[in-house]
Amino acid sequence: MATELRMLRDVEWDAWSDTLNRAFGEPPPSPEQRALRRELTETGRSFGVWDGADCVATAGAFSFGLTVPGGAEVPVAGVTMVSVQPTHRRRGLLRAMMRHQLADVRERGEPLAVLTASEPAIYGRFGYGAAALDMQLTVDTLRLAAPELPGTDEVRLRLVDPAAALAECERVYARLVPARPGMLARRPGWDRLAVLDLPGERAGAGELQCVLAEVDGEVRGYARYAVKVVWEDAGPAGVVRVRHVEAPDPVVYAALWRFLFGIDLTSSVTVRTRPVDDALPHLVGDMRRCVPVLRESLFVRPVEVGAALAARTYRTPVDVVLEVADPFCPWNEGRWRLTGDATGAVCARTTDPAELALSVRELGSAYLGGFTLRSLAAASAVRELRPGALAAASVAFGSDVAPWLPHGF
Ligand SMILES: CC(=O)SCCNC(=O)CCNC(=O)[C@H](O)C(C)(C)COP(=O)(O)OP(=O)(O)OC[C@H]1O[C@@H](n2cnc3c(N)ncnc32)[C@H](O)[C@@H]1OP(=O)(O)O
């Protein structure tokens, strides 16, 4: 029987969600998880493939606002919930869904699509390039002195119920979003996801805790964490598992880390993701004891090359003609002249000779300033056609603040 690709109907949501769960091999969601997932699903952007009455593939998107270099918030499609049933894999269903979705994103006028990948090898063929890294840290707090800056003693710390303190924490988070490329402006409901604390997902740790950091009565930062109790023959060796630690002010940030380092009966801290330019390794005496694991996080796909490149600013003045290859979205193919600086940019079609040649995937990788055009050229993924063009464009595309996506979606 032929399969049919079509939009999700509200009444089909449960079956659609079960299809997704099966493809990931996950246990059924708790009622609380299911309700939140359903609330966050944008039905108008969710679709699937049906084989008769059976839903055999799923995909969707969130309408996000992404911070780009320069601080603008750009509307993007956050591609998500992609799955194909084991009975129907490797017959082209994913490819068909990606084609359908990118055409829809273009129609909506969103210049970029973004995603996090279950397996990084999947999405390059559809024009998505790895654009940001995240850094997981494991810190040996027994051997390190806790961070200390002048003023940390003036920061008042208060333990609160994570859900009850959401509004105060969100005010801090909202200040951070425009300051870092890769961050997403919060949409309704996503704050609750940040404090979801399902007993089945605690992996041996206790309940989620939240500590607020206040200066002059105002909340300036927060950390969310859970403690995993460990007793060894030699004594306590618990682990502080940090989910979030956020504070725009360095002194408040140091105060939060000092607190996390000092929790009784623990000897290490793990934090599941921080930006690669995080301050913590510089706040401790011995940065080797902050052991990092780097991993790609956010993938970026320019859907409209001209609009995407004009939506960000450039660290240094740039004037370059790009020859872009994009077999999956052929409307992007050809030559584009990009001119811009730290105040704005214009990108338009041109017939002038090309100076750099690259595919849309590399453009996605360089877009947020997380990977340089020079490093992509060293892997033969970018070709310099006019001497000097690579060095100038590579610096211009950079970002002083490393891009970072604090959470999956
Ligand atoms: C944004 C997100 O939601 S990420 C989550 C992705 N989902 C999952 O990981 C859930 C488990 N996996 C699955 O559901 C499926 O195997 C999928 C969605 C990854 C692939 O679906 P399929 O329908 O089998 O893919 P399809 O047949 O369209 O393959 C298209 C191309 O991708 C390739 N491909 C598919 N899956 C993978 C993979 N896991 N790794 C590398 N390449 C892959 C295929 O080989 C094919 O290559 P080609 O262009 O050279 O012909």
Domains of the chain listed by start with CATH number: 4-110 (3.40.630.30), 134-296 (3.40.630.30), 304-396 (3.30.1050.10)
pLDDT in tens, 249-304: 999 999 999 999 999 999 999 999 999 999 999 999 999 999 999 999 999 999 99
> How far, in Å, from the CA of 391 to the mean position of ligand 1?
36
Q: Residue 1 has what pLDDT?
A: 66
pLDDT, residue 350, reads: 98
- Ligand 1 mutation pick, 85, 87, 122, max ligand atoms within 8 A of CB: 122
* Tokens describing residue 358: 């690259």
Q: Whose CA is nearest to atom 8 of ligand 1?
A: 83
- State how far the Cα of 317 lies from the Cα of 308, in Å rounded to an integer: 17
94 annotated among ligand-binding-site residues = yes
ipTM for this prediction? 0.98
Q: Are strands 129-130 and 299-302 parallel, antiparallel or unpaired?
A: antiparallel
User: 90: annotated binding-site residue?
Assistant: yes
Residue nearest to atom 48 of ligand 1 (CA): 125
Q: Which residues line ligand 1 (CB under 6 A)?
A: 23-24, 79-84, 89-95, 115, 117-119, 121-122, 125
What pLDDT does residue 28 have? 86
In this structure, how many other beta carbons lie within 10 angstroms of the beta carbon of residue 267?
Answer: 18
SS3 (DSSP) at 328: coil
Reported as a single tens digit per residue, the pLDDT across 4-34 is: 999 999 999 999 999 999 999 998 899 999 9
**Are residues 306 and 349 in contact, defined by beta-carbon separation less than 8 angstroms?**
yes
CA of 94 to the centre of ligand 1 (A): 6
Cα 48 to Cα 52: distance, rounded to the nearest angstrom: 12
84 marked ligand binding residue? yes
Alpha helices in 209-249, H assignment, sequence order: none
Mean pLDDT in each 10-residue stretch from start to end of the chain (409 residues)?
Answer: 94 97 92 94 97 98 98 98 97 98 98 98 98 98 94 97 98 98 96 93 96 98 98 97 98 98 98 98 95 98 98 98 98 98 98 98 98 98 98 98 97
Nearest CA to ligand 1 atom 15: 84
**Best probe residue, ligand 1, of 87, 88, 90 (max atoms within 8 Å of C-beta):** 90
Q: Of the listed 123, 126, 261, 371, which one is catalytic?
A: 123
Query: Which residue from 186, 190, 246 is spatially nearest to 66, judged by alpha carbons?
Result: 186
